[in-house]
A and B are shown apart, each in its own frame.
Chain A
Amino acid sequence: MENIEQKLISRINEHAAPIRIMHVCGTHERTISKYAIRDIISKDVQLLSGPGCPVCVTPAEDIDFAISLAKSGKVIASFGDMMRVPGTRGSLFDARSDGYDIRMVYSIDDAVKIAKDNPTLDIVFFGIGFETTAPANAAALLREVPENFSMLTSHKLMPPAMEILTEDTIVDGFLAPGHVSTIIGTYPYNSVSERGFPIVVTGFEVLDVLLGIAMVQNQIESGRSCVENAYSRCVNVEGNLKAQEMMYLVFKKIDSKWRGIGMIEKSGLALKKEFEQFDAVNVYADIYEKAQHEKKVSDIDNNQNEMWEGCICAEILTARAQPAQCPLFGKRCSPKNPVGPCMVSLEGTCYNWYKYTHNKGI
């Protein structure tokens, strides 16, 4: 007997017409690649990978600033997958190999603990991620942190980026990220669906992703464009109001630079004035200015996408190209020796393509 997954695959294939569905979540890419969903559904239904990997879209200048802080004797506490992403001159891992104090943490609480345990050291937490990680970071600051703790904030907001993507006509519909949506709810996507794009909030199991695809397909087929929720076991319309409240007690929306995309209006978070004593940009303003200046005279200054020669991560992050089209993919660029950010992160499109689909010879 057919199980639900197989029924959904049959449904998607029976109704296949040329459509392009974009997801904007690294974990969706992971599920799609891990289960080779692209291979088992009709080639007409194209699954595109958008800018859903938080470390991939973190601008090189923020990494450069973190490295400059480390070089001036501060302790950098960072999530693991941020550590391998190259800035203008190397990654945090490279800086650690050079002897600077850079520590891998699993949450802001670990970083706060390091600060409390080491009152003579200055700890800078590298706060990145979408709406999923921002509330936890806000909560930590609201709980009180020691004086020797500060935060380098590089948080990004997903809906403004999706709005930018709709201006490109290559997408017919979206899978919205389940994790982000648990926090923000489904209503912020109305601005996307009102532009005529079907959008389905989708979870991360293979069944969730297949359901999301089928629901987007169904909307396109019936000429509708609205926000639907295929992840109702975790997501509701208004989201987690407490988390949102904490987030905006601590952070304010700012225009923000996305690696590979550029500036997007109101798409990032910065610490509010009340928290400026914990804002690394403010506390270490001199180091920040110097890092900014150094970047201007660096090799990739003329490359607005902050990518290396031959690397097409910028196109990949916006689904204008697929990894296999990159001349470096699988040759000079692999998970062992990544060139661009999309190959570094576990959430990166190139990493997942390489890991699960590259060269399998079937």
Chain B
Amino acid sequence: MQALIRDLILNNITNKSAGPVGLDDLDDGATINIANTMDGSKKCDEIVITTDSHVIKPPFFPDSNIGRLAVSGTVNDLAVMGAAPLALTCAIVVPEGFELESFEKIIKSMNAAAEEVGVPIIAGDTKTVERNGLDSIIINTTGIGIAGDVIRDSGLCPGDKIILTGTIGDHGISLLAHREGFDFSTDLVSDVAPLWNMIRAVIPIRNVEGKPAISAMKDPTRGGLAGALNEMAQKSGTGIIIHQRDLPIKESVSSACEMLGIDPLEVANEGKAIICVKAEHAEEALSIIRNHKYGRDAAIIGEATDGHSGKVLMKTIIGSMRYVDIPTGDLIPRIC
């Protein structure tokens, strides 16, 4: 996918930037520097913009649905860049005959998620296509946010501590179990949630020089924690070491992954953030995050290192070091 994005998209678009973060950065969103377009004289807040099309099979999954996912996904992409969500737009494509009752449920879920973080949905578009052209609903959301200090996924420095805001794999495993009919006898549900209220609480932390203590953030969605950490290590030019013993993971997710031969580090999350923070502020940030309902299981899972630049390693529970690779593709359960 990365190669396809580079070859077919980035190489064929010529004007790719309207501010410090543009298309080539492949971050969670891009920024527009308002100061540049006004008088260019003094430091000014930056507008952050992001867009995401959401497709998920099935559109209704344990405890949630595509509506909550579509709003949360975009709010979180803004949030991990340090941006308060100002407004969302929403474009929906549905096949003919899509149940109206389901449609309304989805819209109500979108609204509830948006209300949670106080972001208005201010524009939209709905298209219907032939039944045989599409088998389910597609929702695109675009979000505009504003940030005093834009936080990148590439800002990690050696020594920074890495906080994960909760348990890994809940979304991916609950979805897989639901979709494929695996009965793990658990009440595991998707973690999909808009994280702005939690993240906004840690953004103001500053060091003695008044600089932001948060150095980098990312949400570990598709590709899971392994994918997100690798991207951060590569873009930041640091190594990352995480500690298996400190990784928050639910027993049910861990057992399901063992049974299916899936690595929980590669499973998608929709309500978690990776927050990298200067070591001296790590405990302070952690306690703020843990005070929020979406961050109760947060933990410091590792740190950025000078060595192994661009790579992620994990210290296992037996004390050995293992390589955490970039996920290669769809999760395929093993056969025996």
Residues of B within 8 A of A345 (CB): 334
Partner of B308, one of A106, A357, A362: A362
Quick one: closest B residue to A104, CB to CB? Answer: B332
Q: Name the one of A5, A37, A210, A336 contacting B328, with C-beta atoms under 8 angstroms.
A: A336
Contact at B322–A356, with CB atoms within 8 Å?
Answer: yes
Q: CB-CB < 8 A to A206: which residues of B?
A: 316-318
Residues in A with CB closer than 8 Å to B322 are 33-36, 356-357, 360
Interface residues on A, range: 35 or more
Does B321 lie at the interface of the complex (its beta carbon under 8 Å from any beta carbon of A)? yes
| A165 interface residue (CB < 8 Å to B) | no
A354 in contact with B325 given A5-B318, A35-B316, A360-B313 (CB within 8 Å): yes
Task: List A20-65 residues whose CB lies under 8 Å from chain B.
Answer: 26-27, 30, 33-37, 39-40, 54-55
- CB of A103 within 8 Å of the partner chain: no
A40–B319 contact, CB under 8 A? yes
Instruction: Let me know if B278 is at the binding interface, CB within 8 A.
Output: no
A331-362 CB contacts (< 8 Å) to partner B: 335-336, 345-347, 354-362
* Bound form: Cα–Cα A206–B307 in Å: 28
The range of chain B's interface size is: 20 to 34
Is A278 on the interface with B (CB-CB < 8 A)?
Answer: no
Is there a chain A Cβ closer than 8 Å to B261's Cβ? yes
Most buried by A among B182, B263, B325: B325
Pairwise interchain contact B318-A361, C-beta atoms closer than 8 A: no
Complex CA–CA separation, A317 to B317 (angstroms):
29
CA distance A82 to B333 in the complex (A): 11
- Candidates B316, B319, B325, B334; contact of A346 at CB < 8 Å: B334
Chain A binding site: helix, strand, loop or mixed by DSSP? mixed
Contact A37 B318 (CB under 8 A): yes
| CB-based nearest A residue for B332 | A80
* A190 is an interface residue with CB less than 8 A from chain B: no
Could you tell me the distance between the alpha carbons of A186 and B273 in the complex, rounded to whole angstroms? 47
Q: A34-B322, A36-B322, A360-B322 are in contact. Are A132 and B317 (CB under 8 A)?
A: no
**CB of B180 within 8 A of chain A?**
yes
Tell me whether A129 and B319 are in contact (CB under 8 A).
Answer: no
What's the nearest-Cβ distance from chain A to residue B172, in Å? 15
8 Å CB contacts to B: which residues of A94-108? 104, 106
Chain B at the A interface: SS class: loop
* Pick from A37, A54, A82, A346: contact of B261, CB under 8 Å: A346
Q: In the complex where A35-B316, A360-B313 touch, is A80 in contact with B333 (Cβ < 8 A)?
A: yes
Question: For residue B317, which residues in chain A have a CB less than 8 angstroms away from its CB?
Answer: 5, 35, 206
Residue among A40, A104, A106, A360 with most chain B CB within 10 A: A360
Complex formed: what's the CA distance from A361 to B336 in Å?
Answer: 32
Q: Given the complex of chains A and B, what is the CA–CA distance between A170 and B322 in angstroms? A: 27
Q: Which residue of B lies closest to A8 (CB)?
A: B318
Please determine whether A55 and B320 come into contact, CB atoms closer than 8 angstroms. Answer: no
Residues from chain A with a CB closer than 8 A to the CB of B328 are 335-336
Assess A129 versus B336: contact at CB under 8 Å? Given A30-B261, A354-B325, A357-B323.
yes
Give the residue among B307, B328, B336 with the most A Cβ atoms within 10 A: B336
- A27–chain B nearest beta-carbon distance, Å: 7
How far is it, in angstroms, between the C-alpha of A129 and the C-alpha of B320 when the chains are bound? Answer: 31
Contact A36 B321, beta carbon cutoff 8 Å? yes
Which residues on the A side are within 8 Å of B263 (C-beta)? 34
CA A359 to CA B325, docked complex, whole Å: 10
Scoring A residues 172 to 209 as 1 if CB is less than 8 Å from chain B, else 0, what string do you get?
A: 00000001000000000000000000000000101000
Whether A54 pairs with B318 at a CB distance below 8 angstroms is no
Option from B307, B308, B323, B336 in Cβ contact (under 8 Å) with A179? B336
CB interface residues, B 157-188, toward A, < 8 Å? 180, 182
A251 interface residue per 8 A CB criterion = no
CB pair B308 A347 closer than 8 Å: no
Judged by a CB distance under 8 angstroms, whether B335 is at the interface is yes
Contact with A along B290-333 (1 / 0, CB 8 A): 00000000000000000110010100111111110100110011
Is B307 touching A361 in the complex (CB atoms < 8 A)? yes
CB pair A360 B311 closer than 8 Å: yes
Given known contacts A27-B261, A204-B258, is B321 in contact with A360 (CB within 8 Å)? yes
Q: Which residues of A are found within 8 Å of B336, using beta-carbon distances?
A: 54, 129-130, 132-133, 179
Whether the pair A359, B334 counts as a contact (CB closer than 8 A) is no
Q: A141 on the interface (CB 8 Å rule)?
A: no
Q: Find the A residue at minimum CB distance from B312.
A: A360
Which B residues lie within 8 Å of A34 (CB)? 263, 316, 322
Q: Name the A residues within 8 Å of B308 (CB-CB).
A: 360-362
Residues of A within 8 A of B (CB): 5-6, 9, 26-27, 30, 33-37, 39-40, 54-55, 79-82, 104, 106, 128-130, 132-133, 179, 204, 206, 210, 335-336, 345-347, 354-362
Q: Can you give 7 contacting A-B residue pairs, CB < 8 Å?
A: A34-B263, A81-B334, A336-B329, A347-B334, A356-B325, A358-B323, A360-B308
Contacts beyond the supplied A104-B332, A358-B323, A360-B323: 4 A-B pairs with Cβ under 8 Å: A30-B261, A204-B258, A359-B311, A360-B322
A-B CB proximity, top 7 nearest: A80-B332, A36-B320, A360-B323, A40-B320, A132-B336, A79-B335, A335-B328
